[in-house]
Amino acid sequence: MKELLPGVYRLPVPIPYPLKTVNLYLLKGNGEVALVDTALGTRAARGTLELSLAELGLCFQDVRVVLLTHHHPDHYGLAGFFEGLGARVFLHEEELSRGHRFWREPQAFEEASWRLFLDHGTPKEALEGIREVMAATRERIHPPENPIPLRDGEVLEVAGKRLRAVWTPGHADGHVAFLLEEEGVLLAGDALLERVSPNVGLWAYTRENPLKDFLRSLDRLGELPARVAHAGHFGPIPEVRARAEELKAHHQERLEALLALLEAPKSAWELSLMLFPQELDAAGRRFAFAETLAHLEYLRQEGLLGREGPPYRYFRT
Ligand SMILES: [Zn+2]
Ligand SMILES: [Zn+2]
């Protein structure tokens, strides 16, 4: 745990994913304690979180406000747990009808989710592995029952700080970064990461063009009056605009790589194996597929690709 500013702490918590750790941010002031993101419902995460809180003389019940950057398991997983202890949980309105519903009402999305994979060329055996991963993930998630909707630009006064919610869709539809206005510090969630490019995926429940959303969000982030960003994983980002530009360039390269692979029509699954040739487990393949599909749909909506099917195959126009 590290105090970044007076009353603002970074709490790294272990997660059973390749990124290994999620950073939560704790705000403490004016007799109030707020947490930005919550980690996942594993024993290791709860234990670490409990110890970090104890170092500050706090316990789980002291957290009265939870601000969620987005609905992904490593950020949202314990939100219902804190809500059950009396915390108010805030989540962007766009997440309520999509990512949050995906966890709250799995039956409503299950059929559409599997259909999306099959329609885009995923072999049945690969889909079986993906279904197992999702079933295991659900067991570690405690969705909040009554999250309070956040809107873009809304200013919250919590724990003696003023935070502006900056809607930054792309990595998740209702992704929000929180700008500590007086301090010029951005709590960036997964919209900007120091070492890796945040996953931008198209899923059964997402908006239609997540990559377009993400590129716009990067522009927006680059213009914020932030001297540093603290993200959901890894270390701080001192040059916010430069990192946003690097990520834009990365996606531009990936779009060009995809176009080059489309000498002949191919499915999103096939292309994901070519674009991500490294050895990946079922969870990694799932992300690779959704990221490839987001890039393909971006190109299709730009008029550079067409598709035939289902099962869908993309081709250059
Ligand atoms: Zn995420
Ligand atoms: Zn994350």
Structure tokens that stand for 313 in this block? 């195959």
Ligand 1 centroid vs 190 CA: distance in angstroms? 5
Helix, strand, or coil here: 42? coil
Round to whole Å and give the CA distance between 213 and 237: 21
| Tens digits of pLDDT across the chain (317 residues) | 999 999 999 999 999 998 999 999 999 999 999 999 999 999 999 999 999 999 999 999 999 999 999 999 999 999 999 999 999 999 999 999 999 999 999 888 889 999 999 999 999 999 999 999 999 999 999 999 999 999 999 999 999 999 999 999 999 999 999 999 999 999 999 999 999 999 999 999 999 999 999 999 999 999 999 999 999 999 999 999 999 999 999 999 999 999 999 999 999 999 999 999 999 999 999 999 999 999 999 999 999 999 999 999 999 99
Amino acid at 224: L
Nearest to 69 by CA among 41, 38, 44, 45: 38
Residue 32: strand pairing partners: 29
Contacts for 221-225: CB closer than 8 Å, 24+ residues apart: 221/166, 221/168, 221/177, 221/186, 221/188, 221/191, 221/192, 224/166, 224/177, 224/179, 224/186, 225/179, 225/181, 225/184
Ligand 1 centroid vs 286 CA: distance in angstroms? 14
Round to whole Å and give the CA distance between 15 and 38: 11
Ligand 2 centroid vs 74 CA: distance in angstroms? 6
Q: Which helix H or strand E contains 84, and what residues bound it?
A: helix 79-84
Ligand 2 centroid vs 7 CA: distance in angstroms? 23
Tell whether the torsion through CA atoms of 124, 268, 116 and 70 is positive or negative. Answer: positive
Structure tokens that stand for 172 in this block? 């998740």
Round to whole Å and give the CA distance between 211 and 232: 20
Ligand 1 centroid vs 59 CA: distance in angstroms? 26
Residue 27: strand pairing partners: 8, 34
Helix, strand, or coil here: 74? helix
Nearest to 71 by CA among 140, 188, 218, 174: 174
Ligand 2 centroid vs 2 CA: distance in angstroms? 19
Ligand 1 centroid vs 135 CA: distance in angstroms? 18
Q: Which ligand is nearest to the CA of 37?
A: 2
Helix, strand, or coil here: 2? strand
Q: Are 38 and 75 in contact (CB under 8 A)?
A: yes
Q: Are 149 and 96 in contact (CB under 8 A)?
A: yes
Q: Give residue 80's pLDDT.
A: 98
Residue 213: strand pairing partners: none
Instruction: Return the number of other C-beta atoms located less than 10 Å from residue 63's C-beta.
Output: 24
Instruction: Return the number of other C-beta atoms located less than 10 Å from residue 146's C-beta.
Output: 8
Structure tokens that stand for 149 in this block? 């909707």
Q: Give residue 107's pLDDT.
A: 86
Domains of the chain: 2-249 (3.60.15.10)
Ligand 2 centroid vs 140 CA: distance in angstroms? 15
- DSSP track, 217-247: HHHHHHTS--SEEEESSSS-BS-HHHHHHHH
Q: Give residue 106's pLDDT.
A: 86
Q: The whole model's pTM is what?
A: 0.97
Ligand 1 centroid vs 21 CA: distance in angstroms? 12
Round to whole Å and give the CA distance between 225 and 132: 43
Q: Which ligand is nearest to the CA of 234?
A: 2
